[in-house]
Structure 1
Amino acid sequence: MLSLTEKEADYIAAQLLKGMVCFYQIDKKKVHFMPDDEDYFNYDLTPDEEDILDEIDADPDNYAEFTKMEIPQEHQMMQDFIDRKVKERSLAEDLVTSLTKTKSLTAFKFLIDESKYKNDWIEYRKSKYLDWVKEQLDSFNYAED
């Protein structure tokens, strides 16, 4: 059964928030990360990253993969934040409207960054991503059983 320290889970959550995909090497208890190829499809892997991917291909059972939330999950998290934290009706309406735009994540971030809720959002999102890492860990352990 795989378990992570709070520090490891925090680190993985922080990397996911930066757009990375993380691989936890079980035997060495080490976190590897690289840009998520869905976001960085023109990104050239470094030789070290290529080596890590080769190791993962050779021994996939020795690695647990952690990925960022899907867009619908991100939207739900943003909606929950609006419902729970934003008290100003006009800002809440603007934020909800931003979620309907084509670049919804960017539009939401722009509005939040210009508001008094910026730090609340950063903390809320980080805590939700920490929960997300723990959910993925639980799924990994369940699949192993």
Structure 2
Amino acid sequence: MLSLTEKEVDTIATQLLKGMICFYRIDKKKIHQMPDDEDYFNYDLTKEEEDVLDEIDEDPDNFAEFTKMEPSQEHQMMQDFVDRKIKEKSLAEDLVNALSKPKAATGFKFVIDGSKYKSEWVEYRKDKYLDWVKEQVDAFNYAED
């Protein structure tokens, strides 16, 4: 049964938001993070990161993997933020317009960063990622049963 402290959940969520992938070593209660290879395919792993991957290969049941949200989940989170939090019609339209184009996340970030809602968005996104990490813990525990 995997159980994380609030601090561990926060640490993992923060790393996922930075584009990292996390592995939680259950027996030592240690978090390992490394760049998500989808985002950093030209990244050379450090010796420590290679060692962690070797340990995971040797004992996969001792590690829980935490990944960022899928693009569709991120997109839905941005849409939900607009629907629930944005009061100004013109800003909401600009954000929805950004979400309808290629590179939706980049466009959304550009618009939201220039608005009074930037800090509210950062907090909202972090809260959603805290929930996302907890969902992954639940899924891990369910798969173990």
Output the TM-score relative to the length of structure 2.
0.99
Give how far 1:73 is off. Answer: 0.1
String of CA shifts for 1:91-142, please: whole Å, max 9, x gaps. 1011011111111111100100000000000000000000000000000000
* Percent of matched pairs sharing the same residue: 78
Could you say which residue in structure 1 is the equivalent of 2:133?
Answer: 133
Task: Give, in whole Å, the separation in 1 of the partners of 2:101 and 2:67.
Answer: 24
Are residue 113 (structure 1) and residue 117 (structure 2) matched? no
Task: Give, in whole Å, the separation in 2 of the partners of 1:92 and 1:100.
Answer: 12
**Aligned partner of residue 64 in structure 1, secondary structure:** strand
Could you say which residue in structure 1 is the equivalent of 2:29?
Answer: 29
Output the TM-score relative to the length of structure 1.
0.99
Task: Give, in whole Å, the separation in 2 of the partners of 1:21 and 1:101.
Answer: 27
Task: Give, in whole Å, the separation in 1 of the partners of 2:99 and 2:51.
Answer: 39
Task: Give, in whole Å, the separation in 2 of the partners of 1:38 and 1:88.
Answer: 36
Task: Give, in whole Å, the separation in 2 of the partners of 1:104 and 1:58.
Answer: 39
Task: Give, in whole Å, the separation in 2 of the partners of 1:42 and 1:127.
Answer: 31
**Aligned partner of residue 22 in structure 1, secondary structure:** strand
Could you say which residue in structure 2 is the equivalent of 1:73?
Answer: 73
**Aligned partner of residue 31 in structure 1, secondary structure:** strand
Range moving further from structure 2, 96-105 or 10-19: 96-105
- Runs of 4+ in structure 1 off by over 6 angstroms are none
Task: Give, in whole Å, the separation in 2 of the partners of 1:87 and 1:47.
Answer: 49
Task: Give, in whole Å, the separation in 1 of the partners of 2:70 and 2:94.
Answer: 22
**Aligned partner of residue 23 in structure 1, secondary structure:** strand
Task: Give, in whole Å, the separation in 2 of the partners of 1:101 and 1:42.
Answer: 27
Could you say which residue in structure 2 is the equivalent of 1:7?
Answer: 7
Give how far 1:144 is off. Answer: 0.3
String of CA shifts for 1:62-107, please: whole Å, max 9, x gaps. 0000000000000000000000000000110110111111111111
Could you say which residue in structure 2 is the equivalent of 1:38?
Answer: 38
Task: Give, in whole Å, the separation in 2 of the partners of 1:99 and 1:15.
Answer: 24
Could you say which residue in structure 1 is the equivalent of 2:88?
Answer: 88
Q: Which runs of 5+ in 2 are unaligned?
A: none
Measured on the aligned residues, the alpha-carbon RMSD in Å equals 0.4
